[in-house]
Amino acid sequence: GQQVMQIPQYQHVQEGEDFTTYCNSSTTLSNIQWYKQRPGGHPVFLIQLVKSGEVKKQKRLTFQFGEAKKNSSLHITATQTTDVGTYFCAGPSNQFYFGTGTSLTVIP
């Protein structure tokens, strides 16, 4: 079946540093979605990328979809303590498969 892997699994950064998580699929994706789960919370939709090579920005967050539509990345500039949580990518085929997630800790 389809697998969506994310790296790193964990990331600790000092507040103000940048952060990047990478998502890799074993198959070509029709689109990719990103979700954020705060500690003790539930996943919340952040964004969807559809086009090959697409780049979208949300304030300090930059999302990219690879040219081959098999990988994606989320980059956070100048992290803040509010960025803490686990970031998941989701690569739907006939099902909604979520990546393994990257847990971000921001040290004040």
Partner 1 sequence: DSGVTQTPKHLITATGQRVTLRCSPRSGDLSVYWYQQSLDQGLQFLIQYYNGEERAKGNILERFSAQQFPDLHSELNLSSLELGDSALYFCASSPSGNTNEKLFFGSGTQLSVL
Q: Which residues bind partner 1 (CB under 8 A)?
A: 30-31, 33, 35, 41-45, 48, 50, 88, 90, 92-101, 103
88 and 38 in contact (C-beta within 8 Å)? Answer: no
Residue 94, classed as helix, strand or coil, is coil
d(CA 34, CA 104): 14
Min dist CB 54 to partner 1, Å, is: 14
Smaller CB distance to partner 1: residue 33 or 73? Answer: 33
Min dist CB 31 to partner 1, Å, is: 6
Smaller CB distance to partner 1: residue 37 or 77? Answer: 37
Q: Which two tokens stand for residue 27?
A: 């198959």
d(CA 56, CA 70): 17
Smaller CB distance to partner 1: residue 11 or 103? Answer: 103
Smaller CB distance to partner 1: residue 73 or 102? Answer: 102
CA-based nearest residue to 20, from 74, 63, 89 = 74
Min dist CB 107 to partner 1, Å, is: 19
